[in-house]
Structure 1
Amino acid sequence: MFKNPVVKDGIKALAIFLLPFLLYLNTYSPFDLDHELWRNYQKQIFDTPFSGLIYMELTYLYLICLFIIWFKNAKNKHLYGVYFIVISLLANFFTYPIPIFKGYTKSVYLLFHLCSLAYLYFNKDYYYRIRKNNQLNPANLLFIVIGLLYISSTFSVIPYKSKELNLGFITIGSYGFYDFSTFHLAVIIKIYGFIAFLTWFFSEKKWWRYAILSPILLLVNQFYNCIISDSEEDIVDEFELYQSGPFLLAILIVLLLLAQAADHQEQIRAFLKLQYQNIEHAVEQRFGKQQQNIEEKKQRLATKKDLSKAELAALKKELEEELEKLT
């Protein structure tokens, strides 16, 4: 659609920068999303003070979009790991809002993952990219673990009614949430996204990678605000846009400057490419015409069997002059 690669990268950077704001749609929306979008769900899931269903669906939606952008631009060695996270989040996204899945969550998860992995391997492009690159590298294994942790958040591996998690050497409380399972589902998964996006930021080399700082910054602030308060009356993920505002503005300014610099470089590259094509065409025309003259003289020489010494000397001199022009 867009011939200029800087425009494509600019749209990509803007999407990465703005997608985390989608999470705040439920908080700052002028209408009640619970009533307008989910009329069939009268009870808030997880028994939490905030709208659990809408909150989690918006969280999964913006994470899915970000990871899909990453997957489309992922290096071959990260391809499988990022894909695993995408399908894990997609399975999470459709688990709660579709009642038909109720009671069959694990079966749906397994079927969805198998079908998705089958698509990845039967797609020729992805199949060869996976085969030619080692998928058992540390970063890829980390992404697979993150995908499994996203799955565990939906399967409620931790007992639902537990108020804390005892790891032996440390006990982690629920920080004002109804139980630790809710705390894990709403807060701890932010750590997974932070680790993944931080890896993406350092592995990406293009100028638009600084847009990834937007979700990283918001995830850090969201996690911090959740753990500093033990009150059950606080609204989750409400003030981070104000707290992160100055930093987000700085990131946006940097992105605009980098886009301007990238556009300038693209213009220089296009100009040099055009000049190279003009020079190449001129050289081809010059040498092509001289080569044609040489061939004509060779043909004249071949068609004349009986030439005098003077004629031979004249033809020899003409050929030498043409060869000197070529060199």
Structure 2
Amino acid sequence: MDKQNNKLKETKSEYHKTDKKSLFVGGIVVFLIAITPFLFYTYESFPDAQVWETSLFTITTAFYDWYTFAWHFFGKFIPLYLLLLWFFTCKHWWHWIILIPISMYSFQLWGIINESNSLDELELYYIIPLMMVLVPVVYLIRAKLFNKVRGDDLKEFEEDLMVKKSIWQQIKDLFR
């Protein structure tokens, strides 16, 4: 009887520790999401001039002014920040596909930091190779998971691949 009570107490204490840890981590994630409006509106504290002079430094921007630079920067940084939070806290099998918008915002942010004149124009060319790898991999993961859930065997899957289908039928099969 004592052994059962000890095991029950150990299980409860492990659950309690895990519960406290998950509450703490969840609280941090909630805080990081809650501060996003404050982070976004920090662009309003930047100067309305092309040259930013302080007692420590003097910086010039290629943008119209630092206010515009900061508006563009935080307009790309905040979605990237939220997508990264989502990616690192998501427990679903499809969370790898979130890397595509993360890479898009990363390239756009890099263009703003480099003060490129071609904002939001060339990122697609850099993202296409990533998409060519990620989309099929995520789809194969989906196919394997659904194969296990449905209990289909590989012969049935191969027979389905050998059947000639119209493009519309192939698209419909993707969503069955």
Hey, what does 1:190 align to over in structure 2? 76
Distance 2:144 2:37 in 1: 36
Gaps of 5+ in 1: 1-132, 270-327
Task: Within 5 Å, give how 1:86-165 maps onto structure 2.
Answer: 137-153=27-43, 156-164=44-52
Q: Is the 8 A contact 2:52 2:58 kept in 1?
A: yes
If you compute each CA radius of gyration, which structure gives the higher value, 1 or 2? 1
Question: Is the 2:50–2:60 contact (alpha carbons within 8 Å) kept by the matching residues of 1?
Answer: no
Distance 1:206 1:216 in 2: 17
CA distance in 2, matches of 1:167, 1:213: 41
Give the aligned partner of residue 127 of structure 2.
244
CA distance in 2, matches of 1:208, 1:196: 17
Decide whether aligned partners of structure 1 residues 224 and 196 sit closer, same or farther in structure 2, where only a CA change above 3 A counts.
Answer: same
Distance in 1 separating the partners of 2:148 and 2:24:
34
| d(CA) in 2 for partners of 1:136, 1:259 | 28
Inter-CA distance 217–167: structure 2 relative to 1 (3 Å threshold): farther
Partner of residue 227 from structure 1, selected from 92, 101, 113: 113
Structure 2 unmatched ranges of 5 or more: 1-22, 153-176
- Indicate the structure whose relative CO is greater, using CA pairs within 8 Å and at least 6 residues apart: 1
The answer (yes or no) to whether the contact 1:163–1:178 under 8 Å persists in 2 is no
- Once superposed, what is the RMSD of the aligned Cα atoms? 2.9
Q: CA deviation at 1:192?
A: 2.4
Match of 2:97 among 195, 202, 211: 211
Q: How many residues align?
A: 130
Deviations 1:164-210 (A, max 9, x none): 38695x76653x11111111111233222222211111111111111
Q: TM-score, normalised by structure 1?
A: 0.35
Residues 119-166 of structure 1, C-alpha deviation per residue, up to 9 Å, x if partnerless?
Answer: xxxxxxxxxxxxxx779822211112222222444xx23232353386
Q: 1:265 is matched by which residue type in structure 2? A: K
Q: TM-score, length-normalised on structure 2?
A: 0.62
Q: Percent identity?
A: 25
Once the 2 structures are TM-superposed, how far is the Cα of residue 221 of structure 1 from its aligned partner?
Answer: 0.9
Q: Is structure 2 residue 138 aligned with structure 1 residue 255?
A: yes
Is the alpha carbon distance of 1:195 and 1:239 closer, same or farther for their aligned partners in structure 2, counting shifts above 3 Å? same
Taking the aligned partners of 1:142 and 1:209, their CA distance within structure 2 comes to 19
C-alpha offsets along residues 85-127 of structure 1, whole Å, 9 cap, x if unaligned? xxxxxxxxxxxxxxxxxxxxxxxxxxxxxxxxxxxxxxxxxxx
SS at match of 2:105: helix
